[in-house]
Structure 1
Amino acid sequence: MDPRVREHAEILADHSTEMSEGDNVVIQVSPEAEDLAVALHEIAGDRGANPIWLTYSDRADRAFMRARADEGNEFETPQHQLSCYEDADVFVIARGGANATEKGDVPPETTAAHRRSMNPVLKERLSKRWNLTQYPTPAHAQLAGMSTEGYENFVWDAINKDWDAQHEFQQGMVEIVNDADEIRIRSGDETDLTMSVAGNTAINDWGKNNMPAGEVFTAPVRDSVEGDVYFDMPLYRHGKEIEGVRLRFEEGRVESFSAETNEDALAGILNTDEGSRYLGELGIGMNRDIDRFTYNMLFDEKMGDTVHMAVGSAYPETVGEENEVNESAEHVDMIVDMSEGSTIEADGEVVQRNGTFVFEDGFE
């Protein structure tokens, strides 16, 4: 076993989820990530925790959803899975299947219906100690346009690092956002978006729920988002590449939208429920070890010189008591490149210009 797998597992167990004696641990990874599952089981044994491995298969998920599409997209919440999640204390979920586009031919409306049925299960998981991570597989290396060895180096360089130092670096942006009432994002000729963050909380993401981590994120006040945004980086959603997304917000809601490719998939996301038309998250990428785009949102949203925004559910811990938590079965991140012709403003003051923060060398 590559020693970096053991280091990865130790970070997940000790830093991310604080696995301890008596914890019921659910390890949900694909067969391709068996080494990570083995390392986590060994650590769980050392800690006195109780692990189970729930393998998953994108091929199986695809078969199930396509069969139900033929029956009218009727899905029930799997109560047996919900019961398992209710009894668990810790979750580790690792992406890394054999085919990154396996579910590309599942109809968007089927995917949306399935997401709605799984929402109670998702909420239960989010109430526990959990972490979503990535295992480097050839499929994701191919998606990123990299060799398998190069992708392994990329993944573990972004994960196996000094998270205390990363936390300290990001804290400067946390303080700026927490002191602000309004954030404005401008990039190029097509993005000019304002939102209130008054009363909400910025979170320093240093690896508790995502690994790799490396962002500062908050929620906008639900009805406050105004303006236009052009997401100039693509995203993969259930095996489909969506490019060139444009959204127009009025009183917080997406009132018009377009995409240069797979607009039907974008429509499926935005039409999942009422909450999927509102922003649930604003995130600012700050992990400088993620230095390239890889078609993997777990990494791409943390990349330095970017911001991302998620339509759909807000994380309750980011929303103040006086503000409304946006709820949805969706949470879909989309990215704006902030490396050129871009600024982030907090209450009218520029705090990032062309990817450089006000507290970094080189900010003018």
Structure 2
Amino acid sequence: MDPRIREHAEVIVDHSIDLSEGDNLVIDAHPQAADLVTALHEFAADRGANPLVVQDRLGERFRRAYLRNRDEFETPSHIEALYEEMDAYIAIKGSDNVTETSDVDPETTAAYQQSQQPLLNERLSKTWCLTQYPAPANAQLAQTSTEGYENFVWDAVLKDWDAVREHQAQMVEILDPADEVRIVSGETTDVTMSVTGNETLNDYGEKNLPGGEVFTAPVPDSVEGEVLFDKPLYHQGREVTDVFLRFEDGEVVEHSAGKNEDLLTEVLSTDDGASRLGELGIGMNRDIDQFSYNMLFDEKMGDTVHMAVGRSYDETVGEDNEQNESAVHVDMIVDMSEDSFIEVDGEVVQRNGTFIFEDGFED
């Protein structure tokens, strides 16, 4: 076993979820991640925890078979009971075919996601971590060799997360007390939103591993303007490119995509909250230096901003503010490296990817 796999497991149990004696641990993993699951069991045994492996959310082959043969769904109470009893949850991304569900009807997927919403809510209420195992299919999607992708993943995961936290805290200090944020990129993106009363979180490798962003929730009805997401995304096994959204009173009133626009339409039609923003995130991890078609990494890239339509995270919504509820949470990315700026309460705090607290900002 590559020694970095055990290092990866150790970061998860000690840094990300702080696994303790007696904890009931659920590990949701694709079979490609068997080595990492094995290492996690070794650490679970050492810490006196109780691990259980499931292959639910990430088992795309049998998910496809199920969704192609059924179109009405209900929340499975036995899975909900499992999540109610667990103390910690680890989801490990990895695939042997990243396009396995590409021929599932988007309406069917949307109906299924709505039925799973109570399960998602229960998982998110517990200690959890989402991470990546460097499987060959994911390397292929990233257009790199298997060894190159392994190096990419573990370089991003095995970091000094305390140093990351300190660096990103400078942006949290700017955004957390703010009222209004404006994002401008070229002539295609100019969008404003209120974040008044909402919390800005510092992601330094706990719930998402790797970490490398600060993020908050827009006030749902405050978003105004237009955004062109010039980085592609992979969703439901299909690539969606050049997503354009226009917002009025917080709602998407016009949308388009260069590729698979029908999938984008289905996402936005999932439920009432799917056509509103649930997250604004600022990528700050410059060690993620290549685009990989994997949002767990891509949204953390330095010189980017991402916005998610759909569900907002509980922790980002202030006590007196409305939470955007949805069965979906779909992140999309804007490149901020050129002809771009972030403005907070009228002050430019990032210009062409450089933050106000970094050398070169005034250049």
Matches of 1:37 and 1:55, distance apart in 2: 11
Cross-structure match for 1:121: 119
Calculate percent identity across the aligned residue pairs: 65
Matches of 2:55 and 2:265, distance apart in 1: 31
Deviations 1:175-224 (A, max 9, x none): 00012110000001110000011111100001121001100000011110
Matches for 1:148-227 after TM superposition, within 5 Å: 148-227=146-225
Cross-structure match for 2:52: 52
Deviations 1:21-79 (A, max 9, x none): 000000111111000100000100000000011124211000100111xxxx2011111
Matches of 1:157 and 1:131, distance apart in 2: 18
Matches of 1:238 and 1:145, distance apart in 2: 19
User: Displacement of 1:242 after TM fit?
Assistant: 0.4
Deviations 1:99-118 (A, max 9, x none): 11111111110110010010
Matches for 1:33-112 after TM superposition, within 5 Å: 33-56=33-56, 57-68=59-70, 73-112=71-110
Cross-structure match for 2:143: 145
Matches of 2:306 and 2:278, distance apart in 1: 11
Q: Is the 8 A contact 2:189 2:226 kept in 1?
A: yes
Deviations 1:108-130 (A, max 9, x none): 10110010010000000000000
| Amino acid across the alignment from 1:132 | L
Please give the TM-score of this superposition, normalised by the length of structure 2: 0.98
Matches of 2:76 and 2:144, distance apart in 1: 37
| Amino acid across the alignment from 1:93 | A
Q: Is the 8 A contact 2:177 2:197 kept in 1?
A: no
Cross-structure match for 1:131: 129
Q: Is the 8 A contact 2:308 2:331 kept in 1?
A: yes
Cross-structure match for 1:12: 12
Matches of 1:323 and 1:53, distance apart in 2: 37
| Amino acid across the alignment from 2:114 | R
Q: Secondary structure at the match of 1:360?
A: coil
Q: Secondary structure at the match of 2:73?
A: coil
| Amino acid across the alignment from 2:6 | R
Q: Is the 8 A contact 2:178 2:196 kept in 1?
A: yes
Q: Secondary structure at the match of 1:199?
A: coil
User: Displacement of 1:316 after TM fit?
Assistant: 1.2
Q: Secondary structure at the match of 2:222?
A: coil
Matches of 2:219 and 2:55, distance apart in 1: 38
Please give the TM-score of this superposition, normalised by the length of structure 1: 0.98
User: Displacement of 1:80 after TM fit?
Assistant: 1.0
Q: Which moved more, 1:165-174 or 1:53-62?
A: 53-62
Matches of 2:27 and 2:97, distance apart in 1: 20
Aligned-residue CA RMSD in angstroms? 0.6
| Amino acid across the alignment from 1:12 | I
Matched, 1:332 2:322: no
User: Displacement of 1:254 after TM fit?
Assistant: 0.6
Q: Secondary structure at the match of 1:321?
A: coil
Q: Is the 8 A contact 2:336 2:352 kept in 1?
A: yes
Matches of 1:187 and 1:95, distance apart in 2: 31
Matched, 1:29 2:33: no
| Amino acid across the alignment from 1:27 | I
Cross-structure match for 1:295: 293
Runs (5+) with no aligned partner, structure 1: none
| Amino acid across the alignment from 2:63 | D
Cross-structure match for 1:347: 345
Q: Is the 8 A contact 2:273 2:324 kept in 1?
A: yes
Alignment: residue pair count:
360
Q: Secondary structure at the match of 1:320?
A: coil
| Amino acid across the alignment from 2:350 | Q
Cross-structure match for 1:254: 252
Matches of 1:30 and 1:58, distance apart in 2: 9
Deviations 1:253-286 (A, max 9, x none): 1111111110010011000000001100000000
Q: Secondary structure at the match of 2:312?
A: coil
Matches of 2:102 and 2:76, distance apart in 1: 23
Matches for 1:250-289 after TM superposition, within 5 Å: 250-289=248-287
Matches of 1:288 and 1:243, distance apart in 2: 23
